């Protein structure tokens, strides 16, 4: 909030510009409460127009209940593997139902190792399931480090130093040094479902669009699991959203995904994309952004 206020004070030409919040994955834990604060603050309430949630962590335990089905249908595991994952999911859900969120988090982050060592998948990168990796790649937070290197064509440190730092005018910074501290800070809240906060925005701020988009190759935030909580939301347009037609996202005569929309809720299926759809299918995400921000969908 303070950073945003300072930005407007230093750049008055943007005072009336539409404001959109966009997050990826774990960023939903920050982006959703920030959107609510902005919407309820008279200094920003006229500016805030939309929220984009990409492969968001909203109800991770619920999404996990679909993982066994998802991986079995794709041929990565067999029936015994699906049963093992469903038992893992049930244990996680039980911890969440008892408000044991720290323990549920520890269980959840062991998912990559469990799937590859106990469910018989063997070296599946859960962040981008079509990527071939080695066994020792799976212990890096669902294989995301390997995935990020593939997507960026370099390691994150080099990307930050060579691309981001010059544009921000910073130097002599060690990146990613507080990873363990951030993960520890997330432990008590990460597994808490935040569906009610999405419902709050939809019901109480109908001028704010909520756009959910999901890469179809992400196993952790798998699309069937995402749709499970979306379709069960309590909001004024729930029945109409579920009854609305799913339309094709066709770009240059190629099917890059699909979308469904009712009033201020949009959902986009992004094809050939993993946990970071914006990196994997930039064209589909670019068109999605243009559609929503131009208000052509509303």
pLDDT at 269: 98
Which residues does 213 contact at the CB level (< 8 Å), separation at least 6?
A: 52, 53, 54, 55, 267, 268, 269, 270, 277, 285, 288
Please identify every stretch of the chain with a pLDDT value under 50, giving residue numbers as ranges.
296, 298
Q: What is the CATH number of domain 2-59+195-293?
A: 3.40.50.1820
Q: How many other C-beta atoms are found inside a 10 Å radius of the C-beta of residue 172?
A: 6
Q: Which of 278, 266, 271, 267 is CA-nearest to residue 251?
A: 271
Backbone angles phi, psi at 256, to 5 degrees: -95, -5
Check: CB of residue 20 under 8 Å from CB of residue 50: yes
pLDDT at 137: 55
Task: Give the CA count within 13 Å in the CB-facing half-sphere of 138.
Answer: 21
Q: In this predicted structure, what is the pLDDT of residue 219?
A: 93
Structure tokens at 89: 């999911």
Find the distance separating the first CA and the last CA of the chain, reported in whole Å: 28
Q: Are 262 and 241 in contact, with CB atoms under 8 Å apart? A: yes
* H helix or E strand, kind and range, residue 22: strand 19-24
What pLDDT does residue 149 have? 67
∠ CA 283-131-258, nearest 5°, is 35
All structural domains of the chain with their residue ranges = 2-59+195-293, 61-192
pTM summary value: 0.89
Q: What angle do CA 61, 67, 72 make, to 5 degrees?
A: 165
pLDDT value of position 104: 97
Residue 7: its pLDDT value, please? 82
């Amino acid at each position: 909030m303070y950073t945003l206020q300072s930005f407007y004070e230093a750049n008055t030409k943007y005072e009336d510009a539409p404001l959109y919040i966009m997050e990826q994955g774990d960023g939903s834990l920050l982006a959703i409460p920030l959107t609510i604060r902005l919407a309820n603050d008279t200094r920003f309430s006229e500016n805030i127009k939309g929220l984009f949630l990409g492969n968001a962590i909203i109800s991770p335990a619920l999404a996990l209940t679909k993982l066994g089905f998802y991986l079995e249908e794709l041929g990565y595991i067999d029936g015994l593997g699906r049963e093992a994952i469903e038992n893992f999911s049930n244990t996680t859900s039980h911890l969440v139902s008892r408000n044991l969120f720290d323990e549920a988090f520890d269980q959840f982050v062991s998912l990559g190792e469990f799937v590859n060592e106990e469910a018989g998948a063997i070296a599946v990168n859960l962040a981008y399931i079509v990527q071939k990796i080695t066994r020792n790649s799976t212990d890096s937070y669902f294989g995301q480090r390997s995935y990020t290197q593939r997507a960026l064509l370099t390691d994150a440190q080099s990307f930050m130093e060579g691309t981001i730092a010059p544009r921000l005018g910073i130097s002599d910074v060690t990146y990613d040094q507080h990873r363990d501290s951030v993960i520890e800070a997330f432990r008590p809240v990460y597994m808490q479902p935040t569906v009610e906060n999405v419902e709050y925005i939809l019901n109480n701020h109908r001028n704010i669009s909520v756009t959910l988009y999901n890469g179809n190759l992400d196993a952790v935030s798998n699309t069937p699991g995402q749709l499970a909580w979306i379709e069960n939301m309590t909001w004024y347009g729930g029945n109409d959203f579920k009854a609305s037609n799913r339309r094709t996202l066709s770009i240059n005569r190629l099917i890059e995904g699909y979308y469904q929309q009712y009033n201020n809720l949009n959902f986009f299926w992004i094809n050939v994309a993993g946990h970071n759809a914006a990196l994997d299918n930039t064209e589909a995400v670019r068109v999605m952004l243009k559609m929503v921000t131009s208000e052509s969908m509303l």
